[in-house]
A and B are shown apart, each in its own frame.
Chain A
Amino acid sequence: MFESLTDKLQSVFDKLGRQGKLSENDVNVALREVRLALLEADVNFKVVKDFVEKVKTRAIGVEVMSSLTPAQQVVKIVNEELIELLGKPAPLNLGGQPPAIIMLVGLQGAGKTTMAAKLALHLRKAGQRPLLVAADIYRPAAIQQLQVLGKQIDVPVHSEGTQVPASTIAKNAARLAREKAYNVMILDTAGRLQIDEQMMQELEQVRMVARPSDVLLVVDAMTGQEAVRVAEGFNARVALTGLIMTKIDGDARGGAALSVRQVTGVPIKFLGTGEKLVDLEAFQPDRLAGRILGMGDVLTLIERAQDNITEEDALAMEKKLQDGDFDFEDFLGQLRQIKKLGPITDLLGMIPGANKMMKGVDPREAEGGLKRTEAIINSMTRKERHFPDLLNASRRRRIATGSGTTVQDVNGLIKQFREMQKMMKQLGIMGGGKGGKKRRGGLPGNIKDMFGGFG
């Protein structure tokens, strides 16, 4: 399973021992891991170099905040710098004389045609009158693809077959848009390599004729180190105004976004998050930063946990653990705390590695399992919750009926609870000062058991 950057850094700092300030040596050791994490995320190595240098200057001598470990402190700085580098989200440039023309460019297979339809749908929902234009005259059936998508979202598609030059199609489409009062026009161009001279000339021509208010480079999130050259190539010829990253719903870390953003300096505008045409998100730098660092969205999770779980709760739990009296009441309390953090599907997405760990477990089922667990505990009397030993066969039958589950479900939960109790006791014995500290604010280790135990 894949280790998050914080874990890796934690182990590095464990070796170094704790210090009040980050020394140059600490930072150097830590940044080696950061460098590796970024390279594994496909951030271009030159970009990584500059970035690491920047973080280094900022991190040396920084006082480690009392609430954080040195590892977390470094990650915090890295994360802030990443967010800074990824820049602020920017909207489409729809001002000026209508129609506003949006031109999508990129390599083959980046997802331009699908993205064109997604943008059209997004605009239509926002009350605009978009027109899709099929200017990819090379790829077989590219025009049909756009037509089919246009029909699905009820947006007209202008096309002139494959014999008319793309620039002419763009010109005619712009005229049509003015006549029929379409106020935004989305140009789907053919995929091309940035080194294909002939094709790049065509793109320049289209741009000259269409005078787009937005030229957006569509980049596949899986792109490797080459992203930099691709972006430079396109930017040099058609002056990009923004970026769109597609296929972010896979498990690629999307470091290419950072590279491309760095070399072009233009903002990232949207993310393509799925195959359906509604799967379009405005870009959010913090989420992408977490992803690039392979941290899931742990920061958001920690924030939410801090907002929802009070210090007293955490301390009370810690004491219970140390004393070894963890009962169903506490179990229920923990369940509710987790539920407060948001839908399970969201939570899992935020925990690094959770997606892999939960493979084969349907999140909706997990959510159901959670509900069943709560129902079962709710059907116990207070006494039963405190003294689970009371739960004999007759009581179990009653609980099953009361909670709308089966005796097997109840048995399963009790068994699980016993195991958990045993584990907690062990933790309690081992814990004391140091162990207790680590647990604070964190989530119980066997979340998976709690979700996946049923169904």
Chain B
Amino acid sequence: MFRRLFGKQDEKTEDEVKLEQSLQKTRSGILGRISTIFQENEITDELWDELEETLIAGDVGMSVTMELVEKTRRRVEQENIKATHDAYVILKQEMVKLLASDEPLHIDEPRILTVVLVVGVNGSGKTTNIGKMAHWYKNRGRKVVLGAADTFRAAAIDQLKVWGERAGVDVIAHEPGADPGAVIYDAIRASQESRKADLLLVDTAGRLQTKFNLMKELEKIKAVASKQVHRAPHEVLLVLDGSTGQNAISQVKSFRESAGVTGIILTKLDGTAKGGAILSIKRELGVPVRFVGTGEKIDDFALFDPVAFVEGLLAE
């Protein structure tokens, strides 16, 4: 993986290309300035200061910024590196290290029915990304069903149905205001029996992590799922808006505590914000990014790859 950072471009997969492209779409990402910093001739104190400032401006957060700069700097000194270009590569390597995860994604394991719960704060893009994810997995030969357990927000069910149509998958829904637990129950039954599906993606209502009762509700939803399917939900994915600042950490932390979040879908990466806050999350909370949402179209969805992400993040 690290070797690719040294310029072996020909090994990129389709997903990586897509991720890099969308991250580069605008060419105005703040972190893109970093490559300009490293075009200086010499490695000076000013260079490190400028790097620090730029990382902070990219929502990377104070402590991780310090750590990242410190580590890169130490390695540059220890390895006696003189060329700024090489220092840049080291920075990239350190960033990749912050993002890489060994934990396999449980969606791809062979199983009769895999249940994925999608959670997040209001407006992070849960419904949209479930639609895109359904399309993505359907294209990879899975039989997908969607569960509309956001029974709270006005028209959330209609919105999911539109996405179901676009992706060509069935949506199991109740009336607005229904008990989300009951929706899951039915969605699992339908997936197992009439629909013969092997992947159920469940949309939940957006909730701010500080709402005690709503977070409790997630525990209940999970309990319903686990009673019907062994070890379900197999993944709980948190949808995180790429333009979120330092609150991202609090979000992941709270949702991990009450919903047992196992991974992140990082969305809205087509904007000028690139999700710099994500760099703190793997290290501080151990939750890896799994997918990225890169636009409003159904194809704007890709598997997360740390190297491609860092390349895209820093692209000028």
On whether the two chains bind one another, the answer is yes
A252 touches B247 (CB 8 A): yes
* B176 interfacial contact with A, CB 8 Å: yes
B268 touches A141 (CB 8 A): no
* A315 interfacial contact with B, CB 8 Å: no
Say how far B130's CB is from chain A's closest CB, in angstroms: 12
B273 touches A224 (CB 8 A): yes
Taking CB atoms, residues of chain A closer than 8 Å to B161 are 141
Taking CB atoms, residues of chain A closer than 8 Å to B156 are 141, 145
CB within 8 Å for A226 and B272 given contacts A148-B155, A249-B208, A359-B212: yes
Q: Which residue of B lies closest to A259 (CB)?
A: B245
B155 touches A224 (CB 8 A): no
Q: Which of A109, A138, A148, A230 contacts B123 (CB 8 A)?
A: A109
Say how far B32's CB is from chain A's closest CB, in angstroms: 13
CB within 8 Å for A42 and B162 given contacts A144-B154, A250-B121: no
Q: Which of A107, A139, A149, A251 contacts B247 (CB 8 A)?
A: A251
* B250 interfacial contact with A, CB 8 Å: yes
Taking CB atoms, residues of chain A closer than 8 Å to B272 are 193-195, 226, 229-230
A109 touches B208 (CB 8 A): no
CA–CA, A274 to B161, complex, Å?
26
CA–CA, A64 to B4, complex, Å?
58
* B209 interfacial contact with A, CB 8 Å: yes
Q: Within residues 155 to 211 of chain B, which ones have a CB less than 8 A from any CB in chain A? A: 155-156, 158-159, 161-163, 176, 208-211
Interface residues on B, range: 35 or more
Q: Could you give, for residues 202-231 of chain B, a 1 whenever the CB lies within 8 Å of some chain A CB and a 0 otherwise?
A: 000000111110000000000000000000
* B277 interfacial contact with A, CB 8 Å: yes
Q: Within residues 351 to 396 of chain A, which ones have a CB less than 8 A from any CB in chain B? A: 355, 359-360
A250 touches B163 (CB 8 A): no
B210 touches A141 (CB 8 A): no
Taking CB atoms, residues of chain B closer than 8 Å to A230 are 243, 271-272
Taking CB atoms, residues of chain B closer than 8 Å to A110 are 123
A42 touches B154 (CB 8 A): no
- At the interface, is chain B mostly helix, strand, loop or mixed? loop
Most buried by B among A138, A145, A148, A225: A225
Q: Could you give, for residues 22-60 of chain B, a 1 whenever the CB lies within 8 Å of some chain A CB and a 0 otherwise?
A: 000010101000000000000000000000010011110
Q: Which of A40, A149, A220, A275 contacts B246 (CB 8 A)?
A: A40
* B244 interfacial contact with A, CB 8 Å: yes
CA–CA, A177 to B93, complex, Å?
59
CA–CA, A122 to B248, complex, Å?
31
CA–CA, A45 to B241, complex, Å?
20
Most buried by B among A144, A220, A224: A224
B244 touches A223 (CB 8 A): yes
Q: Which of A41, A144, A256, A360 contacts B155 (CB 8 A)?
A: A144
Q: Within residues 51 to 72 of chain A, which ones have a CB less than 8 A from any CB in chain B? A: none
Taking CB atoms, residues of chain A closer than 8 Å to B53 are 45
Taking CB atoms, residues of chain B closer than 8 Å to A130 are none
Q: Which of B122, B245, B270 contacts A275 (CB 8 A)?
A: B122
* A96 interfacial contact with B, CB 8 Å: no
Q: Which of B125, B158, B246 contacts A144 (CB 8 A)?
A: B158
B159 touches A250 (CB 8 A): no
CA–CA, A108 to B248, complex, Å?
17
Q: Within residues 220 to 261 of chain B, which ones have a CB less than 8 A from any CB in chain A? A: 241, 243-248, 250-251
Taking CB atoms, residues of chain B closer than 8 Å to A226 are 30, 59, 243, 271-273
Say how far A19's CB is from chain B's closest CB, in angstroms: 28
Q: Which of B123, B153, B162, B209 contacts A140 (CB 8 A)?
A: B162
Taking CB atoms, residues of chain B closer than 8 Å to A428 are none
CA–CA, A9 to B123, complex, Å?
36
* B124 interfacial contact with A, CB 8 Å: yes
A40 touches B159 (CB 8 A): no
Say how far A37's CB is from chain B's closest CB, in angstroms: 10
Say how far B53's CB is from chain A's closest CB, in angstroms: 6
* B107 interfacial contact with A, CB 8 Å: no
Taking CB atoms, residues of chain B closer than 8 Å to A229 are 28, 272
* A291 interfacial contact with B, CB 8 Å: no
CA–CA, A294 to B133, complex, Å?
38
Taking CB atoms, residues of chain B closer than 8 Å to A40 are 61-62, 246
Q: Which of A138, A148, A249 contacts B176 (CB 8 A)?
A: A148
CA–CA, A39 to B248, complex, Å?
14
Say how far A351's CB is from chain B's closest CB, in angstroms: 15
Q: Within residues 187 to 203 of chain A, which ones have a CB less than 8 A from any CB in chain B? A: 193-195
B123 touches A224 (CB 8 A): no
Say how far A3's CB is from chain B's closest CB, in angstroms: 14
* A142 interfacial contact with B, CB 8 Å: yes
* A255 interfacial contact with B, CB 8 Å: yes
Taking CB atoms, residues of chain A closer than 8 Å to B86 are none
* A206 interfacial contact with B, CB 8 Å: no
Q: Which residue of A lies closest to B30 (CB)?
A: A225
Taking CB atoms, residues of chain A closer than 8 Å to B209 are 250-251
Instruction: A195-B28, A229-B28 are known; give 4 further A-B pairs, CB within 8 A.
Output: A109-B268, A145-B159, A220-B244, A252-B245
30 of the cross-chain contacts (CB-CB < 8 Å) are: A39-B62, A40-B61, A41-B246, A42-B247, A44-B57, A46-B57, A109-B122, A109-B124, A109-B125, A139-B159, A140-B162, A141-B162, A144-B158, A145-B154, A149-B154, A152-B154, A193-B270, A195-B271, A195-B272, A222-B121, A223-B245, A224-B244, A230-B271, A250-B208, A250-B247, A251-B208, A251-B209, A251-B247, A252-B247, A252-B250
By a beta-carbon cutoff of 8 Å, the part of chain B in contact with chain A is 26, 28, 30, 53, 56-59, 61-62, 121-125, 152-156, 158-159, 161-163, 176, 208-212, 241, 243-248, 250-251, 268, 270-273, 276-277, 296
5 closest cross-chain pairs (CB), A and B: A224-B245, A109-B123, A140-B162, A42-B245, A145-B155
By a beta-carbon cutoff of 8 Å, the part of chain A in contact with chain B is 36, 39-42, 44-46, 107-111, 138-142, 144-149, 152, 193-195, 220-227, 229-230, 247, 249-253, 255-256, 275, 355, 359-360
